């Protein structure tokens, strides 16, 4: 039996980031599969149904081969990609980050959106407890 060590988060975490009256609620979850990810996203979309966007990124697997990014109506590459970039920079896997945006009336532009989503994802990962986990296969 082989053993591999991954970095992941031990429990869910939350953070709030504000930029020019827009509010970004970020949530990080330890996840094992895509069905669990869909449930968490559906839960947040229902709970925060009045938000403008529910953007996310996740990485699954020891080899990090399964991943997805979603901008949920934001300009292409301005939300999901920066969130995914934070997962990569922390070298974690089996983690989902969802950033819920409440629009504050001031347009941030594509550069501003990229920075805001990146910082929202970074803050939630800073609030999370990153652990090493051994997987047997």
Print pLDDT tens along the chain (137 aa): 678 899 999 999 999 999 999 899 999 999 999 999 999 999 999 999 999 899 999 999 989 999 999 999 999 999 999 999 999 999 999 999 999 999 888 888 899 999 999 999 999 999 999 999 887 76
Looking at residue 94, the DSSP 8-state letter turns out to be S
pLDDT score recorded for residue 120: 97
pLDDT at 55: 98
Dihedral over Cα of 111, 91, 46, 73: its sign? positive
Q: What's the pLDDT at 2? A: 79
Q: The tokens 């901008």 sit on which residue?
A: 71
DSSP summary character for residue 124:
H
Domain ranges of the chain: 3-136
Contact 101, 78 (CB under 8 A): no
CATH number of 3-136: 3.30.230.30
What is the rounded distance in angstroms from the CA atom of residue 101 to the CA atom of residue 55?
8
Whole-model pTM over 0.75 = yes
């Amino acid at each position: 039996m082989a053993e591999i060590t991954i970095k992941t988060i031990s429990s869910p975490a939350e953070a709030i980031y504000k930029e020019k009256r827009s509010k970004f609620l970020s949530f990080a979850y330890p996840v094992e599969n895509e069905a669990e990810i869909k449930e968490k996203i559906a839960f947040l979309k229902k709970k925060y149904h009045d938000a403008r966007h529910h953007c996310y990124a996740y990485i699954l697997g020891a080899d990090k081969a399964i991943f997805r990014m979603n901008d949920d109506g934001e300009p292409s590459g301005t939300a999901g990609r920066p969130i995914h970039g934070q997962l990569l920079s922390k070298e974690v896997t089996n983690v989902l980050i969802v950033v819920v945006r409440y629009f504050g009336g001031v347009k941030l532009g594509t550069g501003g959106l990229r920075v805001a989503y990146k910082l929202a994802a970074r803050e939630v990962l800073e609030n999370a407890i990153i652990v090493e986990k051994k997987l047997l296969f």
